[in-house]
Structure 1
Amino acid sequence: TANNVKIVGHLNVPGRIAASASLLYARNLFAFLETLVDKTTKTLAINRDDDLVKATMLTNGGKIVHPSFAKPDQQPYVEPAAIPATTMVADASPKKAAPKKPAASKSPSSKPKGIA
């Protein structure tokens, strides 16, 4: 450089980032999958009480268990043993859904000329 500074480093940094990111992802995925396997019997043994498993499990037994994927009017499925006895009483008065608004109609003249 103009100030006699010598820069030492890799010439192709963008080419090296993809390999590093891929290796890091592979290590993380392997570490996660390793927690799902029993090391002594080498069989699938999912611990549903593990925080990481709870955060990544979307369905179980055909029911949605992750709260982010449940429909707004549905609660995620929870095993009956995990529900306190006070919350197992059903509400006798079902709530009515709010009426849907009709779709607004656009007149054909609202488009500017020249646009298909």
Structure 2
Amino acid sequence: MNTSPKKCIPWDNEVNFAITLSDQDGKILHMNKKSESTFLKGKEDDLIGKNVLDCHPPAAKAKLTDLLKSHETNAYTIEKNGQKKLIYQTPWYENGEFRGLVELSLVLPKNMPHYIRKN
């Protein structure tokens, strides 16, 4: 049995999708490099510590506010600047306690195959 402490591998900074982590009040705790390059765009030095609600238009802000209260998952696709993206917003927990939301933003290939698999 391995009793050594688990090491955290910093895997998220070199993946090709954006990861944004916020706390239960919407304060941004972490952005991987892709998230920073996607959302900062030279407008700000850093969004860590800012509220994710302030980064969205009214309809999206209302949806995020609801997600922070309901602890549900929200998934949808968008098209922006000629790229189709999957947005996946879901709660994260620590020891079973709701701690906030994580948002994944993935660029989808133009001709992404779709498979229906049988057991």
Pairwise TM-score range, normalised by the shorter structure: under 0.3
Q: Which has the larger radius of gyration?
A: 1
Higher RCO (C-alpha under 8 Å, 6+ residues apart): 2
- Select the structure that is richer in strand: 2
Larger helix proportion, structure 1 or 2?
Answer: 1
Normalised TM-score (structure 2) = 0.22
